[in-house]
Structure 1
Amino acid sequence: MEQPKKKSFFNPYSANDPSMDVPVTAGAAGSIMSPYLNVDPSYFSQGGDSEFIFPEGASRQRGRFELAFSQIGGSVFAGAAVGGLNGVYTGFRETKVAELTGAVRRTQMLNFITKQGASSAQSLGVLALMYSIFGVLLSWGRGKDDEFNTLTAGTATGLLYKSSAGLHKCLRGGAAGFGIAAAYCLFTNKDKLKSTFSRN
């Protein structure tokens, strides 16, 4: 006679427990059913829409304000990573030229990594913050979120970031911001562009 499996603290249910013998499929199509509510979820999404509940009047996709936090945080982390890698390279080169060894060399390399990582993280974080502020203000002011907001926010960010360095650098910063924003718009709308060119 087979002995029933002992219930453990992390798995209080055994395979021989009759209360666990609940079918998870029903119907000829084998649609998934909830073993707890015994309700077929396909009844709630007959139009093929996403199975999410949105507050009344809320948008089905996140707006610029919601995306701003992840953009700023991601930019800070990316800046820290790039600056840290640059600090590793610079620190290795500088300590090799100075012929430092042992603990002194490790300390100097850590100084290069932390200083350059912090500097790059701060710069990219400030750029992302300015871009997000411009984008949110444009989105709220115009009442819609489109490519025009992205291009304007990118250009204004470049102009403002380099505004204290003189007119020529300010214009170059605006052109760089416009170019990055235009590249982003082209990348995110490549399917739309393909369909437009294929029709012609």
Structure 2
Amino acid sequence: MMENNNNSGLFGGLGGQTNLQGLSPYLNIDTSYLQSSPEYLFDQETKRGKMEKSFSAIGTAVCVGSGVGGVYGIYDGVRQTALSQLSGKLRRTQIMNYTLKGGAIAGNALGTVAVLYSLTHCLISLTAYEEDDELKSLISGTVTGAVFKSTAGLKKCARGGAIGLGLATIWAYGLKRQETVQNYM
């Protein structure tokens, strides 16, 4: 039998080969045959839409609301079960119910506010100039607060709009201008 020492081709060995730049050290395969162009994890040319950029803020609002509501639920559950003089498994179950209910209520409320704010900000962005970002935030915050409390009556609707305007003012003129916050936007 005659051995073939031709090491060229897809599965070429190391013996006699001088160009090792494209050779995979793990598979002993020349990778230049497998790739025609470089591959990237993120396509730099694709742009995310305005609503798509707000998904992380909406998710964060839901998670923060659930956490804060859960902590308050634990506090309220321990307090209520102590007043009712419950003990054992029944007390643990009641505390868990308070915790889950408080987390769900606060998470849903904060998530709803984040969705309303994002939607109004995106709709205003379609009509307003790009330079008026602070004004868009103030209008979006006011509308969000007013719409969120619109079913509770006119006074609470106006109070919700004022709270939304206050929080949007803190966001637009305080937090958003900080350099550490801008790194995450």
TM over 0.5: yes
Identity over the aligned pairs, expressed in percent?
41
TM-score of the two chains, using structure 1 as the length reference: 0.64
Partner of 2:70: 84
The residue type equivalent to 2:139 in the other structure is T
The residue type equivalent to 1:64 in the other structure is K
| Pair 1:114-2:100 in alignment | yes
Deviation at 1:53, TM superposition (A): 6.3
Partner of 2:86: 100
Q: Which runs of 5+ in 2 are unaligned?
A: 1-19, 22-41, 180-185
Q: Which runs of 5+ in 1 are unaligned?
A: 1-18, 21-51, 192-200
Provide the alpha-carbon RMSD of the alignment.
2.3
The residue type equivalent to 2:105 in the other structure is S
Distance 1:176 1:127 in 2: 12
Q: How does 1:162-173 map to 2 (within 5 A)?
A: 162-173=149-160
Distance 2:111 2:155 in 1: 24
From 38, 44, 64, give the equivalent of 1:54.
44
The residue type equivalent to 1:142 in the other structure is A
From 168, 189, 197, give the equivalent of 2:177.
189
Q: Secondary structure, in 3 states, of the residue corresponding to 2:166?
A: helix
Distance 1:64 1:149 in 2: 13
Distance 2:68 2:110 in 1: 10
The residue type equivalent to 1:104 in the other structure is L
| Pair 1:128-2:108 in alignment | no
From 130, 136, 139, give the equivalent of 1:149.
136
Distance 2:153 2:86 in 1: 40
Deviations 1:122-153 (A, max 9, x none): 11111111001001111122252611111110
The residue type equivalent to 1:179 in the other structure is G
Deviation at 1:155, TM superposition (A): 0.5
Count of aligned pairs: 140
Cα pair distance change 1:101/1:84, threshold 3 Å: same
Q: Secondary structure, in 3 states, of the residue corresponding to 1:144?
A: coil
